[in-house]
Amino acid sequence: MKLVEPVLAFQAELQQIRRDLHAHPELCYEEQRTADVVAACLTEWGIPVVRGLGITGVVGIIKNGSSPRAIGLRADMDALPLQEINSFEHASKHAGKMHACGHDGHTAMLLGAAHYLSQHRNFDGTIYLVFQPAEEGGAGARRMIEDGLFEQFPMDAIYGMHNWPGMAAGTFGVVAGPMMASSNEFRVVIKGKGAHAAQPHRGVDPIMVAVNIAQGWQTIMSREKSPLDTAVLSITQIHAGSATNIIPDEAVMIGTVRTFTTPVLDLIEQRMQDMATHIAAGFNATVDFGFKRNYPPLVNHPEQTSLAIEAMRAVVGPDQVNTNVEPTMGAEDFAFMLQAKPGCYVFLGNGEGDHRAAGHGLGPCQLHNASYDFNDNLLPIGSSYWIRLAEMHLPLL
């Protein structure tokens, strides 16, 4: 492992920043204190700062030389609406809010890179440090883009990184092409006709309609899309009825669809609506079909993925970089940035949780778990990756 020595020397300060952020989590679009911390650090290190994109976003600008080339390095800042069960010193001080996804670590790693790059400008061009709000369901990436991120800060490519529990600490994983799925949700209201449960023939039972729709939808996955196209259709809620002797007027079905490509998503959404409408009609019922597309698939660009692999190997060695990591059906709003600009998103192994100090909760150290904690041993690794990536992307001429 070839970490950047000045970053190693700065690790204690990075850990202090990370744990301070962990203790003061803020939800999407509320990251005012976090943005203040980020902006204060960048300003102290002589890095110009622009604030306000995406409401609470922060962009730092580091220039060197005369090249017009530029890249973006992105970290997310927001926490989750979750009650932390850890009791160590840096546990959340805000009830019902927790950094259970490691965005505190992501922010600290990019600050570590910023600190080094502000002092050792071994590159030619411009590095934009993008500290993004509201990844957790708020589509902060899209909001920053809508607010002019890429017009105000023109860049050739943009890169992202996420810690990944279950992968060995200090290893990297990436794959060119689709790496994370689209995130979509549906809500279907089936409208029947209420009746006494002892006289079902006098009504239209929406529960039986829901059962038939649910079974029909699964044939979309097994018989209509190609077996080579990965997708998930999960009905996670069915709500209907209020008593054992009443057939209700309506039933509600809620769930999620995940895909790696938009054409597959188009097919599934259309066929779900078609089936729901016609199956309901066959039972003399009607449906209100709602489908919401949240985040698109996250698709890494080949050229930028190759460069990211080179940078990861330079930091941890070739044996510690998995270039064919298994894609996940989880979603990430960095996908919006990769739709607008070429780039690459990578995983950094967070380990199995044995790094947690005394006082951690009984649950596993998994993302979105109340006993999660970011592995501070990753701080110099992630910062070193950002540094090497920037230097390789913007080499001195």
- 189-235 pLDDT, tens per residue? 999 999 999 999 999 999 999 999 999 999 999 999 999 999 999 99
359 and 337 housed in the same domain = yes
- Check residue 197 and give its pLDDT: 97
**Predicted confidence band at 357 (pLDDT cuts at 50, 70, 90)?**
confident
- pLDDT for position 370: 97
- The answer on 87 and 9 residing in a single domain is yes
Give the tens place of pLDDT for each residue, 54-98: 999 999 999 999 999 999 999 999 999 999 999 999 999 999 999
Q: What angle do CA 91, 93, 96 make, to 5 degrees?
A: 95
162-172 pLDDT, tens digit each: 999 999 999 99
166 shares its domain with 306: yes
Q: Contact at 8 Å (CB) between 181 and 259? A: yes
Distance CA 58, CA 394 (A): 22
Dihedral of alpha carbons 10, 12, 17, 18, sign: positive
Give the model's pLDDT for residue 380.
98
First-residue to last-residue Cα distance in the chain:
27
Domain final position from 251, 280, 295: 295
Q: 106: Cβ–Cβ under 8 A, 6 or more apart, which residues?
A: 75, 76, 77, 161, 162, 163, 382
> How high is the pLDDT of residue 41?
98
Secondary structure string (H, E, C) spanning the chain: CCCCHHHHHCHHHHHHHHHHHHHCCCCCCCCHHHHHHHHHHHHHCCCCEEECCCCCCEEEEEEECCCCCEEEEEEECCCECCCCCCCCCCCCCCCCCECCCCHHHHHHHHHHHHHHHHHCCCCCEEEEEEEECCCCCCCHHHHHHHCCHHHHCCCCEEEEEEEEECCCCCCEECCCEEEECCEEEEEEEEECECEECCCHHHCECHHHHHHHHHHHHHHHHHHHCCCCCCEEEEEEEEEECCCCCEECCEEEEEEEEEECCHHHHHHHHHHHHHHHHHHHHHCCCEEEEEEEEEECCEEECHHHHHHHHHHHHHHHCHHHEECCCCCECCCCCHHHHHHHCCEEEEEEEEECCCCCCCCCCCCCCCCCCCCCCCCHHHHHHHHHHHHHHHHHHCCCC
Distance (Å, whole) CA 127 – CA 42 = 13
Q: Do 50 and 74 sit in the same domain of this protein?
A: yes
Structure tokens, 294? 């949240």
Alpha carbon 156 to chain centroid distance?
22
> Within this chain, do residues 291 and 305 fall inside the same structural domain, yes or no?
no
Identify whether residues 150 and 13 lie together within a single domain: yes
- CA count, 13 A, side-chain hemisphere, 300: 27
Contact assessment for residue 337 and residue 145, using Cβ atoms and an 8 Å cutoff: yes
Q: Among 295, 327, 349, which residue terminates a domain? A: 295
Boundary-marking domain end, from 266, 295, 324: 295
Query: What integer pLDDT is reported at residue 101 of this predicted model?
Result: 98
Tell whether 168 and 233 lie within a shared domain.
no
Q: Is the pLDDT of residue 362 over 90?
A: no
Task: Decide if pLDDT at 390 tops 90.
Answer: yes
Same domain, 266 and 321: no
What CATH number should be reported for the domain holding residue 148? 3.40.630.10
Q: Note whether 308 and 251 are same-domain residues.
A: no
Please give the tally of structural domains in the chain. 2
Of the candidates 309, 319, 315, 317, the residue with the CA atom closest to the CA atom of residue 380: 315
Residues 302 and 343 in one domain: yes
Q: What are phi and psi of 147, to 5 degrees?
A: -85, 5
Q: What is the CATH number for 190?
A: 3.30.70.360
Question: How far apart, in whole angstroms, are the C-alpha atoms of residue 248 and residue 204?
Answer: 9
Look at residue 303 and tell me whether its pLDDT is greater than 90.
yes
105-129: average pLDDT? 98
Task: Judge if 64 and 113 occupy the same domain.
Answer: yes
pTM score of the predicted model: 0.95
With beta carbons less than 8 A apart as the criterion, state whether 203 and 195 touch. Answer: yes
Domain of 251, in residue numbers = 183-295
Residue pair 251/194 in contact by the 8 Å Cβ criterion = no
Q: What is the largest CA-CA distance in the chain?
A: 84
For 200, the token pair is 């079902």
Count the Cβ atoms, other than its own, within 10 Å of residue 208. Answer: 16
Using only the alpha carbons of the chain, give its radius of gyration: 24
Residues 174, 229 within the same domain? no
